[in-house]
Amino acid sequence: MKSLNKERLDKIISSQFNISRSEAKTCIRRGQVLVGGTVAKDSGMLVTPETEQIIFNGERLAYKKNIYIIMNKPRGVLSASTDKSRKTVVDILPEELKRSGLFPAGRLDRDTTGLLIITDDGDFAHRIISPKKKIKKTYIVWLDADITPDICRKFSEGVTLSDGTLCAPSKLTRIDKNVAEITITEGKYHQIKRMFGTVGIGVNELHRKSVGGLTLPENITEGLSRELTEMEKNSIFMPV
Ligand code: URA
Protein backbone atom coordinates (compact mmCIF):
# COMPACT_ATOMS: atom_id res chain seq x y z
CA MET A 1 0.00 0.00 0.00
CA LYS A 2 1.21 3.52 -0.83
CA SER A 3 2.32 5.33 2.34
CA LEU A 4 0.71 8.67 3.04
CA ASN A 5 2.99 11.65 3.47
CA LYS A 6 2.72 14.27 6.12
CA GLU A 7 2.86 17.87 4.91
CA ARG A 8 3.11 21.27 6.57
CA LEU A 9 -0.31 22.70 7.30
CA ASP A 10 0.40 26.10 5.68
CA LYS A 11 1.53 24.32 2.49
CA ILE A 12 -1.67 22.27 2.36
CA ILE A 13 -3.91 25.31 2.94
CA SER A 14 -2.02 27.38 0.39
CA SER A 15 -2.12 24.74 -2.37
CA GLN A 16 -5.70 23.59 -1.86
CA PHE A 17 -7.33 27.00 -1.43
CA ASN A 18 -5.25 28.97 -3.94
CA ILE A 19 -3.81 31.44 -1.45
CA SER A 20 -0.18 32.33 -0.85
CA ARG A 21 1.87 30.63 1.84
CA SER A 22 2.03 33.82 3.90
CA GLU A 23 -1.76 34.29 3.63
CA ALA A 24 -2.18 30.68 4.80
CA LYS A 25 0.08 31.39 7.80
CA THR A 26 -1.97 34.45 8.69
CA CYS A 27 -5.23 32.46 8.50
CA ILE A 28 -3.77 29.77 10.76
CA ARG A 29 -2.58 32.40 13.25
CA ARG A 30 -6.07 33.90 13.29
CA GLY A 31 -7.59 30.52 14.20
CA GLN A 32 -9.40 29.99 10.88
CA VAL A 33 -8.07 26.44 10.48
CA LEU A 34 -9.15 23.36 12.44
CA VAL A 35 -7.34 20.03 12.31
CA GLY A 36 -9.22 17.06 13.71
CA GLY A 37 -11.71 19.44 15.33
CA THR A 38 -9.09 21.51 17.18
CA VAL A 39 -7.95 25.02 16.21
CA ALA A 40 -4.46 24.75 14.70
CA LYS A 41 -1.83 26.98 16.33
CA ASP A 42 1.28 26.10 14.36
CA SER A 43 1.62 26.74 10.60
CA GLY A 44 4.39 24.18 10.46
CA MET A 45 2.44 21.35 12.09
CA LEU A 46 2.67 18.15 10.07
CA VAL A 47 -0.64 16.78 8.87
CA THR A 48 -1.69 13.80 6.73
CA PRO A 49 -4.30 15.55 4.56
CA GLU A 50 -5.78 12.32 3.18
CA THR A 51 -6.76 11.06 6.63
CA GLU A 52 -6.96 14.04 8.98
CA GLN A 53 -9.99 16.30 8.86
CA ILE A 54 -9.05 19.88 7.94
CA ILE A 55 -11.58 22.71 8.12
CA PHE A 56 -10.79 26.15 6.72
CA ASN A 57 -13.23 29.01 7.32
CA GLY A 58 -15.91 26.44 8.11
CA GLU A 59 -15.33 24.54 4.85
CA ARG A 60 -14.20 20.92 5.02
CA LEU A 61 -11.18 20.30 2.82
CA ALA A 62 -11.69 17.63 0.16
CA TYR A 63 -7.97 17.07 -0.33
CA LYS A 64 -6.58 16.26 -3.74
CA LYS A 65 -2.86 15.83 -4.09
CA ASN A 66 -3.00 16.93 -7.72
CA ILE A 67 -5.54 18.29 -10.12
CA TYR A 68 -5.99 17.50 -13.83
CA ILE A 69 -7.97 19.93 -15.96
CA ILE A 70 -9.07 19.87 -19.59
CA MET A 71 -9.62 23.22 -21.32
CA ASN A 72 -10.75 24.27 -24.75
CA LYS A 73 -8.25 27.09 -25.05
CA PRO A 74 -9.71 30.19 -26.65
CA ARG A 75 -7.83 32.37 -29.13
CA GLY A 76 -5.89 35.28 -27.65
CA VAL A 77 -5.01 33.63 -24.33
CA LEU A 78 -1.44 32.75 -23.39
CA SER A 79 -0.43 29.12 -22.58
CA ALA A 80 1.36 30.05 -19.36
CA SER A 81 0.73 30.20 -15.62
CA THR A 82 1.26 33.94 -15.21
CA ASP A 83 2.09 36.96 -17.31
CA LYS A 84 2.65 40.63 -16.47
CA SER A 85 0.01 42.00 -18.81
CA ARG A 86 -1.60 39.29 -20.91
CA LYS A 87 -4.36 36.91 -19.88
CA THR A 88 -3.20 33.32 -19.31
CA VAL A 89 -5.00 29.97 -19.40
CA VAL A 90 -4.68 29.77 -15.61
CA ASP A 91 -6.25 33.25 -15.22
CA ILE A 92 -9.39 32.12 -17.06
CA LEU A 93 -9.99 28.96 -15.00
CA PRO A 94 -13.11 29.00 -12.82
CA GLU A 95 -12.26 29.89 -9.20
CA GLU A 96 -13.08 26.38 -7.90
CA LEU A 97 -10.37 24.85 -10.12
CA LYS A 98 -7.66 27.37 -9.29
CA ARG A 99 -4.84 26.43 -6.95
CA SER A 100 -1.17 27.26 -6.73
CA GLY A 101 1.35 25.46 -8.92
CA LEU A 102 -0.89 25.03 -12.00
CA PHE A 103 0.69 25.09 -15.44
CA PRO A 104 -0.24 23.96 -18.96
CA ALA A 105 1.15 20.55 -20.00
CA GLY A 106 2.55 21.79 -23.29
CA ARG A 107 2.07 25.05 -25.10
CA LEU A 108 -0.41 26.13 -27.71
CA ASP A 109 0.30 29.40 -29.52
CA ARG A 110 -1.74 32.41 -28.46
CA ASP A 111 -3.88 32.17 -31.61
CA THR A 112 -4.32 28.37 -31.41
CA THR A 113 -7.53 26.96 -29.95
CA GLY A 114 -8.43 23.55 -28.56
CA LEU A 115 -7.45 20.84 -26.13
CA LEU A 116 -5.08 21.87 -23.38
CA ILE A 117 -4.31 19.96 -20.19
CA ILE A 118 -3.59 22.06 -17.11
CA THR A 119 -2.21 20.39 -14.00
CA ASP A 120 0.07 20.76 -10.99
CA ASP A 121 1.56 17.28 -11.50
CA GLY A 122 4.97 17.59 -13.12
CA ASP A 123 5.46 13.87 -13.79
CA PHE A 124 2.07 13.60 -15.51
CA ALA A 125 2.83 16.66 -17.66
CA HIS A 126 6.23 15.21 -18.60
CA ARG A 127 4.59 11.99 -19.82
CA ILE A 128 2.43 14.09 -22.16
CA ILE A 129 5.06 16.53 -23.37
CA SER A 130 8.23 14.47 -23.70
CA PRO A 131 8.89 13.59 -27.38
CA LYS A 132 10.37 10.31 -26.12
CA LYS A 133 6.89 9.24 -24.96
CA LYS A 134 5.54 9.78 -28.50
CA ILE A 135 2.07 10.89 -27.37
CA LYS A 136 0.17 11.86 -30.52
CA LYS A 137 -1.23 15.38 -30.75
CA THR A 138 -3.78 15.90 -33.50
CA TYR A 139 -4.72 19.29 -34.92
CA ILE A 140 -7.09 20.63 -37.55
CA VAL A 141 -5.29 23.17 -39.68
CA TRP A 142 -6.71 25.78 -42.08
CA LEU A 143 -4.15 26.84 -44.69
CA ASP A 144 -3.68 29.62 -47.22
CA ALA A 145 -3.03 27.14 -50.04
CA ASP A 146 -4.16 23.71 -51.18
CA ILE A 147 -2.73 20.50 -49.79
CA THR A 148 -1.09 18.17 -52.29
CA PRO A 149 -0.16 14.49 -51.98
CA ASP A 150 3.47 15.61 -52.28
CA ILE A 151 3.20 17.66 -49.05
CA CYS A 152 1.61 14.69 -47.25
CA ARG A 153 4.50 12.50 -48.40
CA LYS A 154 7.14 15.06 -47.30
CA PHE A 155 5.55 15.32 -43.83
CA SER A 156 5.39 11.53 -43.49
CA GLU A 157 9.14 11.37 -44.10
CA GLY A 158 9.92 14.09 -41.54
CA VAL A 159 10.68 17.66 -42.59
CA THR A 160 13.70 19.78 -41.74
CA LEU A 161 12.81 23.27 -40.49
CA SER A 162 14.58 26.38 -41.80
CA ASP A 163 17.00 26.40 -38.83
CA GLY A 164 18.01 22.79 -39.49
CA THR A 165 15.77 21.23 -36.82
CA LEU A 166 14.58 17.80 -37.89
CA CYS A 167 10.93 16.93 -37.20
CA ALA A 168 9.83 13.35 -36.62
CA PRO A 169 7.52 11.88 -39.29
CA SER A 170 3.97 13.19 -39.03
CA LYS A 171 0.64 12.22 -40.53
CA LEU A 172 -1.06 14.82 -42.72
CA THR A 173 -4.55 13.96 -44.00
CA ARG A 174 -6.42 16.23 -46.40
CA ILE A 175 -9.99 17.02 -45.26
CA ASP A 176 -10.78 19.70 -47.84
CA LYS A 177 -8.81 21.76 -50.38
CA ASN A 178 -7.02 23.83 -47.72
CA VAL A 179 -8.10 22.04 -44.52
CA ALA A 180 -6.19 19.11 -43.08
CA GLU A 181 -5.68 17.00 -40.01
CA ILE A 182 -2.12 16.70 -38.79
CA THR A 183 -0.74 14.41 -36.09
CA ILE A 184 2.64 15.09 -34.50
CA THR A 185 4.40 13.51 -31.52
CA GLU A 186 6.59 16.48 -30.58
CA GLY A 187 5.93 20.03 -29.44
CA LYS A 188 8.66 22.17 -30.93
CA TYR A 189 8.14 25.93 -30.88
CA HIS A 190 5.52 26.89 -33.53
CA GLN A 191 6.12 23.42 -34.97
CA ILE A 192 3.14 23.06 -37.30
CA LYS A 193 3.39 26.63 -38.61
CA ARG A 194 7.10 26.13 -39.27
CA MET A 195 6.50 22.74 -40.91
CA PHE A 196 4.05 24.30 -43.38
CA GLY A 197 6.55 27.15 -43.80
CA THR A 198 8.99 24.65 -45.33
CA VAL A 199 6.57 24.13 -48.24
CA GLY A 200 5.71 27.83 -48.52
CA ILE A 201 2.24 27.54 -46.97
CA GLY A 202 0.83 29.80 -44.23
CA VAL A 203 -1.40 28.60 -41.40
CA ASN A 204 -4.61 30.64 -41.03
CA GLU A 205 -6.05 28.73 -38.09
CA LEU A 206 -4.99 25.89 -35.83
CA HIS A 207 -7.14 23.85 -33.45
CA ARG A 208 -5.99 20.89 -31.32
CA LYS A 209 -8.61 18.17 -31.24
CA SER A 210 -6.87 15.36 -29.36
CA VAL A 211 -3.94 14.39 -27.17
CA GLY A 212 -3.19 10.66 -27.16
CA GLY A 213 -6.50 8.82 -26.90
CA LEU A 214 -8.31 11.84 -25.42
CA THR A 215 -10.48 13.90 -27.78
CA LEU A 216 -11.87 17.28 -26.79
CA PRO A 217 -15.55 16.70 -25.88
CA GLU A 218 -17.98 18.80 -27.92
CA ASN A 219 -19.63 20.23 -24.83
CA ILE A 220 -16.37 21.85 -23.70
CA THR A 221 -16.75 24.90 -25.89
CA GLU A 222 -14.08 27.58 -26.30
CA GLY A 223 -12.99 29.00 -22.95
CA LEU A 224 -14.59 26.24 -20.87
CA SER A 225 -12.70 23.85 -18.62
CA ARG A 226 -13.40 21.12 -16.09
CA GLU A 227 -11.60 18.36 -14.22
CA LEU A 228 -10.69 15.26 -16.20
CA THR A 229 -12.34 12.02 -15.14
CA GLU A 230 -10.05 9.14 -14.18
CA MET A 231 -10.96 7.40 -17.43
CA GLU A 232 -10.16 10.47 -19.53
CA LYS A 233 -6.84 10.87 -17.72
CA ASN A 234 -5.87 7.29 -18.53
CA SER A 235 -7.09 7.55 -22.12
CA ILE A 236 -4.33 10.07 -22.89
CA PHE A 237 -1.79 7.25 -22.63
CA MET A 238 -3.81 4.63 -24.52
CA PRO A 239 -2.40 3.65 -27.91
CA VAL A 240 -4.13 5.36 -30.86
N1 URA B 1 2.22 24.03 -33.70
C2 URA B 1 2.11 25.36 -33.86
O3 URA B 1 2.65 25.93 -34.78
N4 URA B 1 1.37 26.04 -32.96
C5 URA B 1 0.72 25.46 -31.94
O6 URA B 1 0.03 26.14 -31.17
C7 URA B 1 0.84 24.07 -31.79
C8 URA B 1 1.60 23.37 -32.68
- Residues in the chain predicted with pLDDT less than 50, given as ranges, are none
The Cα–Cα gap between 217 and 214 comes to: 9
Question: Would residue 123 show up in a list of annotated catalytic residues for this protein?
Answer: no
What is the model's pLDDT at position 4?
81
The CA 75 to ligand 1 mean position distance, Å, reads 12
CA distances from 159 to 138, 185, 221 (A): 17, 13, 33
What is the model's pLDDT at position 86?
97
- Indicate whether residue 7 lines ligand 1 (CB < 6 A): no
Report which ligand 1 atom has the smallest distance to the Cα of 108.
6
How buried is 206 (Cβ within 10 angstroms: 0-12 exposed, 13-18 middle, 19+ buried)?
buried
- Indicate whether residue 186 lines ligand 1 (CB < 6 A): no
Q: What is the pLDDT of residues 206-224, one digit of tens each?
A: 999 999 999 999 999 999 9
Q: What is the pLDDT of residues 182-206, one digit of tens each?
A: 999 999 999 999 999 999 999 999 9
What is the model's pLDDT at position 100?
86
The CA 185 to ligand 1 mean position distance, Å, reads 12
The Cα–Cα gap between 203 and 212 comes to: 23
What is the model's pLDDT at position 1?
55
What's the pTM value of the predicted model, to 2 decimals?
Answer: 0.92
